[in-house]
């Protein structure tokens, strides 16, 4: 990809408050480390990390308009608007910044919900966003530990944490998140407790 990294960083930084830009910088560092460890493409990981929250602070009406205009999944509109910025962001960086690498766009698109059949790059960005050093919510340390050993198990745990968080607060769970969790469950050999004998 022939891309001017500095211009992308400037464009992304303009879209968000400084606290979110600090988060983006930490995601970039974490993605670089995960890419080194797993063999993911370091340049693509860097670009996707820079741009993953490009639309997060766009007004709700603007994000809704992009969902409708670009024929993104309409069911998004029935769920928490925190989910919108990932699919909207993929379209926005394609249209506004000329990013046309589908793997990078998928990594941006799926960094909040995941999706079945995630590529290595998508896994790296999903996890980098979840475990970057500024995160301090309950359960993140276990996901960090798992990420050092097995990306799939780390993502499964992150999805479990997210689903439990949403259910405990009475929020709806986006179906793609459930499908992603099921996909990882199918991939990972499970150690099930033996049935107790009676």
Pair of tokens at residue 33? 């480390």
Pair of tokens at residue 177? 């998140």
The band of 2, judged by pLDDT with boundaries at 50, 70 and 90, is low
The band of 197, judged by pLDDT with boundaries at 50, 70 and 90, is very low
Query: What's this model's pTM, rounded to 2 decimal places?
Result: 0.93
Q: What is the mean pLDDT of residues 50-60?
A: 97
Class of domain 5-187: mainly alpha
Domain boundaries, the chain: 5-187
* CA 162 to the chain's CA centroid: 12
Q: What is the mean pLDDT of residues 90-95?
A: 97
The band of 143, judged by pLDDT with boundaries at 50, 70 and 90, is very high
Q: Which residues of 53-64 are buried (b: 16+ CB within 10 A; e: fewer)?
A: bbbbebeeeebb
The 3-class secondary structure across 121-178, one letter per residue, is HHHHHHHHHHHCCCCCCCCHHHHHHHHCCCHHHHHHHHHHHHHHHHHHCCCCCCHHHH
pLDDT for res 191: 58
């Amino acid at each position: 990809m022939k891309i001017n990294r500095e211009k992308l960083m400037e464009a992304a930084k303009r879209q968000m408050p400084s606290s979110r830009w600090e988060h983006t910088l930490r995601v970039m560092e974490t993605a670089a480390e995960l890419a080194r460890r797993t063999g993911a493409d370091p340049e693509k990981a860097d670009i996707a990390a820079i741009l993953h929250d490009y639309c997060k602070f766009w007004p709700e009406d603007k994000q809704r308009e992009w969902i409708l205009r670009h024929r993104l999944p309409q069911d998004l509109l029935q769920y928490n608007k925190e989910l919108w910025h990932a699919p909207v962001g993929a379209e926005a960086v394609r249209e506004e910044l000329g990013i046309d690498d589908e793997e990078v766009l998928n990594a941006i698109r799926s960094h909040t919900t995941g999706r079945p059949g995630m590529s290595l790059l998508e896994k790296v960005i999903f996890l980098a966003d979840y475990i970057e050093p500024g995160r301090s919510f309950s359960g993140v340390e276990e996901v960090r530990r798992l990420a050092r050993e097995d990306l799939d198990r780390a993502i499964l745990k992150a999805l479990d944490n997210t689903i439990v968080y949403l259910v405990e607060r009475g929020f709806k769970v986006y179906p793609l998140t459930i499908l992603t969790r099921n996909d990882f469950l199918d991939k990972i050999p499970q150690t099930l407790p033996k049935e107790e004998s009676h």
